[in-house]
Structures are given as structure tokens and as C-alpha cells.
Structure 1
Amino acid sequence: MRLCAAVVALAVALVPLTWYVTLMPLWLTQSGERDATVFYSQGMGLWLNFTEHVGDPSFDPGNSLWIPPQESGADTYSAQCAAKQTFCANAVGELHKQYCQVMDVYCGAAMTFLQLALSVMAGVSLLAVVWAVHLITTTHRTIADLYLMHLCVLNGVGCLVSAVVWYFCVFRLVLNSTFYKDQFNRCSENDSGRSCWQMGVCVYLLVAGGVLYPVLSVLVVSHATNKFRRFQRLLRRLYESSAVVDVPPPLVAMKSQIVNSSDDMLASGELALNVEERLQTTSLAPLKRHPSALRSEENLDTDLEEQKQDESPAPPPVAV
């Protein structure tokens, strides 16, 4: 039961984490403050970037990646890149060209890859929740048993790969650009409570997702294994119950039946022998002819001979 709750709870918890990382403009952040009432911050994300002024709307710590410095608000990625094309089409000054190099990174292929990858992972996170609930509510084998673990591993690997792509193909290129180095020098020399551009919380959450999704896959495999073992035990009990119903007679009973049948056979054999012996002992003696019967038989033969003589014709007279 605890394992079931852990599977569902972790799958549900990873959904807002994945969507937060995908949508929030906190992949690259910087901030600064003049006093307790004046504050400035900026952030970049995959789909949005924002600028926030608190207290004094004209306060700018001089570390903005946008030219001209933005007012408080949020701009979409597509709008920012569309403005970049118009702005960089007529680049004249060196600073202008350096800024456009940074925008080429921000609107480049790496960001497009990250947008697609995080969008897929956000959708997979929802599917993982549905399959996790389906996994623990069914006792038979389902598609969740076969592929939920693969989805979790896919999302975990995707999170780690996205973090690596962001660090090497976006973050390092932006920080090593000539435009940002000038901004960084001004930022580091100003001790008015500024934080220079750095990786935001979304990147750390992305790495956490890359660790937690494999953990979820392990929990899914453990639950699927336990469910399969329960099925094996149930199948064994069913087999044992059917074996009890159709169990053959015990060996002792079989032996007694064999002995009884052999006794019956012996008894019938002895009876047959007794009958045969009795018939042999009680057989009739051969009949003997009585003297009167012999005399009657002799008289009968004599009568037959005389009858034959009477019936035979007399011989003809002999002529003299």
C-alpha cells in the first residue's frame, strides 16, 4: 500500500515541477536593489522573459541583456525574437552587433530544441500520472506495466540532456559573449547588492527531475514485480484447489483395493478348482449291459434272420 501511494504521489509531484520548468522565465536570472524599497530583477525562460521594477521604475542596475532596458512586464519568446530581427537588421555600432550575437544564441537552434524537449516531457508527465493510477488500480497486467517505466526513464534522461544543452549551448555562450562581459564587469564592480546573471531555479529543478524520474521508474518496476508475484501466488492457490478436487485416491486405499481384488481373484480361482475336483470325484461310472438285454438282443437278431428267409422266393424246379 505504501509503495502504491509512493508511486502516485511522486508521479503527481513531478507534473507541476515539469510544467513549472517549462513555462517559468527563471532559467537565467539577475537582480539588484538600491535599498529596502527599490528592487530590480530580470529573468529568461524558454517561452517568456520578464523585467520587474519595484519602488523606482527608472532604477536599472546596468546589467540588462535587453536594449533598450525594459519596463516592468513580460515578453514572449516569439515577440522578443521578432523584435530582435528588426533591431539587428540595421546593426551599426559595435555594442549593437555584440547584443545581436547574444540574441542569436537566445533565438537559436538550442532554444528551439529545449522548447520541443520540455513540451514533450510536460505531456509525458501527465501520461505518467494517468498510467500510475491505472497501474495501482488494476490487478491484471496492463500497458502501464510494460511502458510506464520506459516513460519515466525517458523523462529523466530528457531532463538531464536538456540541462546539459542549456548549460553548454546557451548559458556558457551568453556569459562568454563580449556584450555580457562588459555588463558583468559593471555588475561585479557595483557593490549595491546586485547579483549578476546566473542560472535560475528552473535549471536546478530540471536536474532534480532528472533524478526523481528514474526513482519513479524503480518504484514502478517494484510495484509491477509485486503485482506479478501476487498473481503467481493466486494462480498457485487456484491450482492447488483444483488439485484437491481432482486428487487421486491415496496410496493406502489403492493398495487395499489391489489386495481386495487379488483376494477376489484367488477366491474365484479356488471355487473353480473345487467345482472341477467335485465333478471329477462325482463322475458317473460307465454303464454295464444287463443279461436280459443281451438275450433280448439275440432273440431280435434270430427273428430278423427268419423274416428274411420267409421273404426270399423259392428256387425254381429243376427239369429232369
Structure 2
Amino acid sequence: MVEADIYEIHDARFRQMIVTSARLDELYSGCRWAEGPVWFNDANQLLWSDIPNQRMMRWTPEGGVSVYRQPSNFTNGHTRDRQGRLISCEHGMRRLTRTEVDGSITVLADRFGSARLNSPNDVVVKSDGTIWFTDPTYGIMSDYEGYRAEPEQPTRNVYRLDPTTGELAAVVTDFIQPNGLAFSPNETTLYVADSAASHDESLPRHIRAFDVVDGRRLANGRVFCLIDNGIPDGIRTDVNGNLWSSAGDGVHCFDPTGKLIGKIRVPQTVANLTFGGPKRNRLFIAATRSLYAIYVAVTGSQLP
């Protein structure tokens, strides 16, 4: 991709957030649906999901790409907890899991009330250790990204899990298809994508914002921004509070008021993204068949 064709400038501020000479590097091509990138700075590696192929992949600057785990139970989104352990959303087993340091798997949540979860999709961890995740029905809609099944939950929720007590609470219950989620740098706002337009263009393709109350509850839900090409899926924030979203034509960047200030064009539909590298200034992009990366002039806010 020619460098001049990568960026779409909607606001002069975006020029200060990009490296105009940076290339969009394709690190790997061979996925069926790339998703859920998570950076491990202590291991200098990126993990991501190739959902339909039932595998988790690993990329390192020195060794390139290898298979990290297969079968993967159709894992989708990933993050790390405050102890650096991998937290994963599994479509296949309809559960949220943690990979322990010895490689064993701990089930964190697979039911709400007496019913099974739909198919946990994406996940973030707050600084207090609580785990927040979305539960749409994508993983049970067909046998391509999971196992076809009827939903047991009456709604498609955003959940908060306290891993110490095991308490699982539905903090938002009015989404059609909740998807990616990210906290603002000061954790006073939680952003959640609704990607329902993926299967019905008349349905939402927006990102909502919620006030985080007492670190436990969400209030004042409102539409933060709309995606004008494709749908919002995975999202991240940078240290200045800008929100970076996946979209049909690449990565869209919004300022803290919800104004679109620029895009990074990507040749394939983007599903998810994360900031990584030693300085968290390299944007890793999971886009359909490929994993891409590009350096930017901002730093991602997520920890660790």
C-alpha cells in the first residue's frame, strides 16, 4: 500500500498522531477471521485469534509467526489481568477463561443466573482487577465461529466480573450486539461498540459511552460516535483519550468528544486492534485474513 494512500485526515490534530513515513506492514496472511490481538511486553510478543481455524497465533519480532494454541475453542477477544495472565473469550465453550502461568485454564464465567452465556466476545480489565466483557450471539449464530445454538439469555449484555468473589453482574442489558469495549485513560468512561448492523443494515453501527459510577455501575448511556463504513468491532483508547475503532475501511480515530479526526486505511475489513511494542506506539491490526502493524505518534492507554 502506497504510504500516501494510508491516511485520511479529517482534522489537523490527526497529523500529530501519525508517523507519515510509517509503512503499513503485513506481518501475516493466512487467517480466516483474525481477531483479539493482545500485546505481552514482558515476552515481546503478540497473541491473536484466528477464530474459524480454531487457533490462537503468536508473533514475535525475532521469530515471526507460530501457532500458540490449537484447538482454541473458537477464542475471540483477549486481554491481560493485573497479574499479567491471559484472559480470553471463548465462543466454542461460551465462557470467559484465564490461562494460568503453568498453562492450565481456569473458567471465570460460563453462566449468568441459571442460563449459559451467549458467546463472550471481547474483554477488558479495570485497574481494580475487575473484568468487563461483552456477550453477543455471534458465536452461536452458525458453526463457523462456534457451535450453532439458541440463546439462553434473554438479552445480550455487558458484564462486570469480580474474580475475587466470583460475582457476575449485568451492567448493561439493552444492547442488540455488544462488541468491543475500552475504558477511557482515567476509567471514568466505558466505551462499548454495538455492531448489530453486521447482519441488518438498519440496526446500530455506533459506539456508546457510559459513565462509570463507583467503579461498579454504568450510567448515562449515550451514542458517542457512528462508524461510516462497516461496523465498529474492537476499540482502544490512547493516553490522550482519543478512541481508535475498527471499521470496514480501516481504523477510525475519534477525539474525546466523538468527532472523527482521521483514518488509517487498511486493505481488508478490520476486526480489532491493540497498541503494542516496547513503547506502546505500534498499532497492531487484526483484519480479516491478515495481521498488520503500523507505528503511530501516540501511546496506547491500556495496561499492562
TM-score by length of structure 2 reads 0.24
Largest Rg, 1 or 2: 1
Task: Tell me: higher relative CO, structure 1 or 2? Use CA pairs within 8 A at least 6 residues apart.
Answer: 1
Structure with bigger helix share is 1
